[in-house]
Structure 1
Amino acid sequence: MYNSHTGKQSSRKSPIWKNLQGTPRQPTNVECGYYMIRFMRDIIHDPALAFEKKFDKKKEPVVYTQEHIDEVRLEWAEFVNKQLQNNN
């Protein structure tokens, strides 16, 4: 990406960006971090890379439930706790 922004030639092809209309929308402006982490988590945990089809729904967007967000909060808290324990 750096090369494409700076105009340098690379042996790699330029990235192809797609706007996915069905990506989850947060209900207010305080969940943005958790929504982004959950979205990235869904992409990383999808070995078939089918997230493009999942989130390209124009009529029916995917909705993250409170359980989805709580799962990310718990994983994040466990990670931070582990890091704090490893530093002591």
Structure 2
Amino acid sequence: MKVAAMEMGKRTKGNPTWELVKFPKQTGNKECGVYRMKFMKHLMEDPLMSTKYKLKELGEAGTYEDEELNDICLELVEYILDFINQGE
């Protein structure tokens, strides 16, 4: 982090403070990629809400429901189909 800051011409003060983050637990063994997509989407959805608050909120959720995971899969399929159709 110090090297990156120096390359951007910024000074760093001390060492970063790391926090232990809780996030939704995956219940099965086949949904790993879907869980990651849902997690990333949740973090990116509201740019005005702090990442720290979003991570706390996700940790309190415990796990994603099947319906939430299915929604992510459907969004991905729609995105891929739109991408394919644009090439035609």
CA RMSD after TM alignment:
2.4
Q: Deviations over 1:1-37 (max 9, x none)?
A: xxx27x351417586543212x111112210000000
- Is the contact made by 1:20 and 1:55 (CA closer than 8 Å) also made in structure 2? no
| Structure 2 residue runs without a partner (length 5+) | none
Identity %: 24
Which runs of structure 2 are paired with 1:41-60 in the superposition (5 Å)? 41-46=41-46, 47-49=48-50, 50-57=53-60
Normalised by the size of structure 1, how large is the TM-score? 0.73
Residue in 1 aligned with 2:74?
A: 74
Separation (CA, whole Å) in 1 of partners of 2:75 and 2:87: 19
Q: 1:79 & 1:26 partners in 2: Cα distance?
A: 24
One-letter amino acid of the counterpart of residue 25, structure 2: R
Number of equivalenced pairs:
80
Q: Which runs of 5+ in 1 are unaligned?
A: none
Deviations 1:48-69 (A, max 9, x none): 1230321354xxx521000000
Query: Which stretch shows the higher mean deviation, 64-73 or 11-20?
Result: 11-20
The answer to which structure has the higher helix fraction is 2
Give the aligned partner of residue 38 of structure 1: 38
Q: Larger RCO: Structure 1 or Structure 2 (Cα < 8 Å, ≥ 6 residues apart)?
A: 2
